[in-house]
Structure 1
Amino acid sequence: MKTTSYYIFVLVTFLFTSILTSAHAFQKDSDKFVVVLDAGHGGKDPGRPTKFGYKEKYIALQLVLAVGSELEKQKDIKIIYTRKTDKFLELHERAAIANKADADLFISIHCNAHDSQAYGTETYVLATRANNMNIEIAKRENEVIFLEANYEQHYEGFDPNSPESLISLSLLQEEYLDQSIRLARSIEDNFKDKIKRKSRGVKQAGFWVLHNTYMPSVLIETGFITNRKEGDYLNSKKGQKDITTAIINAVKDYKKELELNIGMDVYHTDEILETTDSPQIIKDVIFKVQIAASSKELAPKSYNFKGLNDISREKSGAIYKYFYGFTSDYSKIKELQVLAKSKGYKDCFVVAYKDGNKIDVSDALKSVSN
């Protein structure tokens, strides 16, 4: 049995490799925006079974081919497919295709399944934290690993049924999380607002297919094929046209925003924590408000950030993150967050650092009584 220290060694090795690879990727000299489209399942892996006769692998492939066909009409976009036929691909191969291409985006398309009549769309990014429901969803998608030859060698002892294994995947994609969430939100907004589907929201879970991609990555659950009405819709020409149009529009909007080279408001899925009026000093912890992220290096001056002072900047990969405030007083930082929101940074959020390392805000607050 592998020890905990061995797991840590493996993860650190992977993380170091990913940083080097991602740095190389951002140095590419290309006039194309590269999108890798991944049709979930395929070949001997049909996806989740359904009594209505739908096969996820076929629907996912049709959606991917339709999305790719339309995006390829854009002269500045290059599409790469992980599969264009009913072919079985191992999960690690899918990520390898995206990394080899130095892709700008990785999008994996699936259909959902449940033992109830649940319905609606969901778009996932890799979890930094995951609740029990999302862990169960990730387990189901990751079970394809057991169909692969020599899977123990490819996945470094990863256990698809282990919550600890799922949560540990977050280390490798954390630097791209802001962008992944932004794309995921755009996709879900298009589903809800443009084609009037029920959106179940942007979620986080430990999907292996996302964990080792060195670019913003999302996994889209386009609907439940175990729901007869939604399964009929996903299997229809109209349904597939609607879904592909929403995804295409989201990708175009995301790309356009990146090209503006301006600070992007950052989406954050954590709940806003309660504040108090009195000072709440947390010893040895520094709080900041993250207000923006951008591919452009901006001077941390008030004129670049709607008059806000005390701006700091941090580089993560090819992305610059911008922060407002610097204090050990949690009550004070919540006041600054309110002020930042009033300036238009509606999705800003509080971050915490201890000894120069980022920690969860909830963990920082646990020490208040110590």
Structure 2
Amino acid sequence: MTLVLDNLRIARNDEIHLDNLSASFARGSLTTVLGRTLAGKTTLLRAIAGLQPIDSGKMERDGQEFGMLPAWQRDVAMVYQQFINYPHLTVFENVAFPLRKRRVPEADIRSRANAALSMVGLSNFAARRPSALSGGQQQRVALARALVRRADILLLDEPLVNLDYKLREQLREEFRGLLTSQSEGTVIYNTTEPAEAMMLADRIIVMHEGRILQTGAPADVFERPANVAVAGIINDPPMTILSGRLDAGRMIFDGGVNLPVSQHLEKLPPGSYRFGIRATEIEPIETGGVAGRVTFSEVSGSETFLHVETSLGEAVLQLEGIHQLANGSEIGLSFSPERLFAFAPDGDGKLVRAPGRGEN
């Protein structure tokens, strides 16, 4: 049985937050909703939780009307970006709080709260106050409080976004096991980060401007983005998009670069296309290639991100290691035509051909 959303629409002050959105979430599933800020992800979770009224559409849970129920009857638990704990209560009492509100017997409260604390690795911190914990530990308290309810639906709205990079990496690995332990419920996890979305879930929903652009298994969405917008969202940094055309067995890019057509594109009809290439598949070279000038260089951990202006447009490179290149440095760029994605030149830029996958 599933949670079914049918044509949900929410608009406020002439701004559309959900645009006739339809989706389904199976019981026992873990779905990540991936999208940039203001894509409508938080509005979607708030609508499911009953915290945001909808203008039109309907929601059903296991075939029964769900959208008209008040929030307190929906059996939904939610974890927010900002961990919200009660500062005057101990860690144990923070976790036990929703059970006490439901007047669960004391023996069950102790058993379930201790089990939830053990699940998130905080058994030894039960007597502490939240202020004595690190940021990551406080977020685990908030997660334990949601898990202890054993709610039918668990919603997580970018719960790691305000933690530092190393802690996010650590908790991502832990969250996969913690969230799949909710095997009888439905888990929906919002994120802006493609790596997080692909790591945590067996299914991704890509959202943009209140609409769902694509739904599928992480590998399928990554290898076959439905359109240019999805290609930008599912890749971090976004895929570089270059305009050009196919003509007489050649790829002729705007800006004058001319390359032979690769095998996976050779059956496409002549005409204009948008070509996409991932940041990891563009290489800097000392001589030859596409001439470019570095406009921005950023070192992040053990990787370097280069923004390069070329005659084809701006390209973004993701390089292993630390590369010190000053703004204005001139470099050459090389990429393999076999790694190019082809998108339609107009409209949403629908995917026409993906590398290594043959006909769409």
Query: Structure 1 or 2: larger helix share?
Result: 1
TM-score for both structures, normalised by structure 2? 0.30
TM-score for both structures, normalised by structure 1? 0.29
